[in-house]
Amino acid sequence: MNGTTPAEAAASRARAGLLYGLAAYGLWGIMPIYFKWLKAVPSIDIVAHRIVWSLVALAILATLAGAWDQVRAAIRHRRTLAFLFVTALLIGTNWMLYVYAINSGHILAGSLGYYLNPLANILLGRFILKERLTKLQWTAVAIAAVGIAVLAAGALGTLWISLTLCFSFATYGLLRKIIHVESLAGLTIETALLFPIALGWLLMGGTVGRPMFGSGGSETVLLVATGIVSTVPLLCFTAAARRLAYSTVGMLQFIAPTLQFLLAVAIYNEPFTNAHAIAFGCIWTALALYLGSMVRDRRARQQLECSELAEA
């Protein structure tokens, strides 16, 4: 026994989950900069390299962390392997569309997709995982939904990008929370399932007329480094999803699209409309309300625990 109470252990787990979540969404938020450096490379080739080099990075990490026993155990469990096959397809789809959105000048459409995603996570947490929301949290969801609806109304031409990004990643996160497999082992299996397709594409020449490993120099280095760039935030995300309420993960996720949004407007000169201004204000108002509700509930629990200890 180490003297840690269940409440302290839960609080420590939640703090770790929060740090993992902040790391994941912060890195995802600035990732468009990286893929803009590779805009000369077709999206499908970039994703193929992401998968191939991610597996290399994950194999090294799994060896260092001694995670191969977890990988083998998950593979032997048919239900877990079936779930991981589905999540592999979901994350592969998400990666492809995300890179396409960045390099086709639709970072704002990608940003909208990831603004929609937290709402999807919150609702999935409520109706699938039976997580409870307070009235203030429901109010936050409603305000964010209004902002996103205004933004969507002005982006119908690219709404399919936003909705597909939202659906693929929200479902991915839900399934990874349900599956009883650690983040590193699960991601290693997912990437291994996609690896034959990605490697086959590159070996067959990829996009016609392009060198397999890029045009040399910095482009080759950037393609190889996609393994690390892709793996680190996804590992942080799955670690956060296993430690936090899924609705909390959903609200943290506003960090990434906000950073993407700012990059699109401030650096890449995508248009900033009145609809964007309304949505931005609504979403951050919703985030403030939701986080305020979380802080209030935590203080109430702490006061209750102190009262119970005093009575004892």
pLDDT, tens digit, for every residue of 35-81? 999 888 888 999 999 999 999 999 998 999 899 999 999 999 999 99
- Number of folded domains that form the chain: 1
In a domain, 251, yes or no: yes
154, pLDDT greater than 90: no
- Residue 212 pLDDT: 67
Residue 1 lies in a domain: no
Judged by average pLDDT, the poorest of 17-26, 142-151, 225-234 is 142-151
Q: Flag the least confident range among 58-67, 74-83, 137-146, 182-191.
A: 137-146
CB neighbour burial string for 112-148, b if at least 16 within 10 angstroms, e if fewer: bbbbbbbbbbbbbbbeeeebebeeebebbbebbbbbb
Q: What is the pTM of this model?
A: 0.79
Phi, psi of 144, deg, nearest 5: -65, -40
Q: Which range of residues forms the domain containing residue 249?
A: 10-311
Question: Is residue 36 one of the residues assigned to a domain?
Answer: yes
pLDDT of residue 292: 77
Per-residue model confidence as pLDDT tens digits over 235-271: 888 788 888 876 677 678 778 888 998 899 899 988 8
% of the chain exceeding 90 in pLDDT? 33
Q: What is the Cα–Cα distance from 302 to 18, expressed in whole angstroms?
A: 19
Q: How confident is the model at residue 209 (pLDDT cuts 50, 70, 90)?
A: low
Which of 75 and 145 is assigned the larger pLDDT? 75
Q: What is the mean pLDDT of the chain?
A: 84
pLDDT at 1 over 60: no
What is the DSSP annotation of 247-264?
A: HHHHHHTTHHHHHHHHHH
265 within 8 A of 272, measured Cβ to Cβ: yes
80 falls within a domain: yes
| Range of lowest pLDDT (253-262, 274-283, 298-307) | 298-307
Q: Mean pLDDT throughout 148-167? A: 82
Highest mean pLDDT among 90-94, 251-255, 282-286: 90-94
In which band, very low, low, confident or very high, does the pLDDT at 86 lie, cut at 50, 70 and 90? very high
pLDDT of residue 76: 93
Query: Is 5 among the domain residues?
Result: no
What is the mean pLDDT of the segment spanning 171-200?
A: 91
pLDDT above 80 (res 83): yes
Look at residue 2 and tell me if it is in a domain: no
Q: 């936050």: which residue's tokens?
A: 140
Task: Give per-residue pLDDT as tens, 107-124.
Answer: 988 888 887 777 787 778
Distance between first and last Cα of the chain: 22
Res 204 pLDDT > 90: no
Amino acid in position 161: I
User: Higher pLDDT residue, 53 or 274?
Assistant: 53
> What integer pLDDT is reported at residue 250 of this predicted model?
67
**37 found inside a domain:** yes
Least confident of 44-48, 189-193, 198-202, 301-305: 301-305
Residue 157 lies in a domain: yes
pLDDT at position 125 over 60: yes
CA pair distance 37, 204, nearest whole angstrom: 24
pLDDT at position 180 is: 84
